[in-house]
């Protein structure tokens, strides 16, 4: 598995990317600008993504859980007994699953764009964005640069299709890890962009309600990729949360 490591701080910080994401596509401003004296920042390409290939990702119904195990093993191999997690979108889900399964290992947790369940309405959103020909060049080109157009298209179709498969035979929501949230003990910051077209606000509210003692921050101008569009503001919020006593925020 491929990873990048920058900084000299005692506080280890793992960045977990979104669907098909990698250090190259998802966390450039964080790897470049987060405080390298306070943190050691580790960017990671999950198995089958980015430079952690070949082989390409094979999506199964438990792929988020498998990624969480890989992330935990990576940090163990790097020598971290305790560390913090920053997870975006699918990476938020992976980070939450890891935090629930190994609560003794996670110091603090920051998630945005995540969802512990999927509604039928959200599945329709996924289906609408399945055709990458309809994506904006700004969203599509970074993925093509990493995978090539053919591989990117296939992987994205596979990602959408695994959620379609999860809904087969079901009339309601699909539970990804709802019952695991109560096991999270890490101090948790949830950030939500009010203009997020992929993840409705009720998902952030559900995380906030079910992760004990968590803090929810909403940005009126934020979209799904708020950490990229408003990188400086996001980084400042994260550094404050990670560096200070949670009870004083």
In three-state secondary structure terms, 123 is helix
Q: Delimit the domains of the chain by residue range.
A: 3-116+174-248
pLDDT of 186 strictly over 50: yes
Kind and range of the H or E run holding 15: strand 11-16
- Does the annotation count 70 as an active-site position? no
The answer to whether 16 touches 39, Cβ cutoff 8 Å, is no
* Among 200, 10, 188, 163, residue whose Cα is nearest residue 98: 188
Q: Can you tell me the mean pLDDT for 157-175?
A: 96
Q: How many angstroms separate the CA atoms of 167 and 170, rounded? A: 5
Contact (Cβ atoms closer than 8 angstroms) between residue 44 and residue 74: yes
Question: Which long-range contacts (C-beta less than 8 Å, at least 24 apart) are formed by 70-75?
Answer: 70/1, 70/46, 71/14, 71/16, 71/44, 71/46, 71/95, 71/98, 72/98, 72/101, 72/102, 72/105, 74/1, 74/3, 74/14, 74/42, 74/44, 75/12, 75/14, 75/42, 75/105
List the Cα angle 3/94/45 in 5-degree steps. 20
Helix axes 90-101, 63-77, angle to 10 degrees: 70
The residue from 196, 208, 214, 227 that is catalytic is 196
Per-residue model confidence (pLDDT) at position 246: 56
Does residue 248 register a pLDDT over 70? no
Which residue among the candidates 11, 192, 208, 224 is catalytic per the annotation? Answer: 224
Handedness of CA 226, 180, 95, 99 (dihedral sign): positive
Quick: pLDDT tens for 118-149.
999 999 999 999 999 999 999 999 999 999 99
Q: Are 72 and 102 in contact (CB under 8 A)?
A: yes
Taking the CA atoms of 30, 235, 26 and 213 in sequence, report the sign of the dihedral they define.
Answer: positive
Could you tell me which CATH number the domain at 3-116+174-248 has? Answer: 3.40.50.1820
Q: Assess whether 196 carries a catalytic annotation.
A: yes
- Catalytic pick among 22, 52, 84, 89: 89
- The pLDDT of 170-193, averaged and rounded, is 97
Rg (CA), the chain: 17
Q: What does pLDDT average to over the chain?
A: 96
Q: What is the pLDDT of residue 249?
A: 47
pLDDT band of 244, cuts 50, 70, 90? confident
What is the per-residue pLDDT for 68? 98
Q: Residues 30-37: what's their mean pLDDT?
A: 97
Q: Tell which phi-psi region holds residue 148, choosing left (phi > 0), alpha (psi between -120 and 50) or beta.
A: left
Respond yes or no: is residue 224 known to be catalytic: yes
């Amino acid at each position: 598995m491929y990873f990048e490591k920058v900084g000299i701080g005692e506080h280890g910080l793992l960045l977990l990317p979104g669907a098909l994401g990698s250090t190259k596509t998802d966390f450039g401003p964080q790897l470049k600008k987060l405080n390298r004296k306070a943190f050691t920042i580790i960017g990671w390409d999950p198995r089958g993504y980015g430079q952690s290939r070949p082989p390409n990702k094979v999506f199964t119904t438990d792929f988020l859980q498998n990624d969480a195990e890989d992330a935990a093993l990576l940090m163990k191999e790097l020598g971290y007994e305790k560390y913090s997690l920053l997870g975006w979108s699918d990476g938020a889900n992976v980070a939450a699953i890891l935090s629930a399964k190994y609560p003794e290992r996670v110091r603090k947790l920051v998630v945005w764009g995540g969802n512990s369940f999927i509604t039928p309405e959200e599945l329709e959103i996924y289906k609408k964005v399945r055709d990458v020909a309809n994506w904006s060049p700004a969203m599509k080109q970074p993925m093509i640069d990493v995978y090539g157009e053919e591989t990117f298209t296939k992987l994205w179709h596979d990602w959408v299709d695994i959620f379609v498969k999860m809904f087969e035979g079901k009339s309601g929501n699909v539970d990804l890890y709802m019952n695991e949230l109560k096991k999270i003990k890490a101090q948790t910051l949830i950030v939500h962009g009010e203009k997020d077209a992929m993840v409705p606000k009720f998902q952030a509210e559900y995380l906030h309600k079910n992760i004990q003692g968590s803090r929810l921050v909403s940005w009126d101008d934020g979209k799904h990729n708020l950490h990229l569009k408003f990188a400086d503001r996001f980084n400042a919020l994260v550094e404050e949360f990670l560096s200070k006593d949670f009870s004083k925020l």
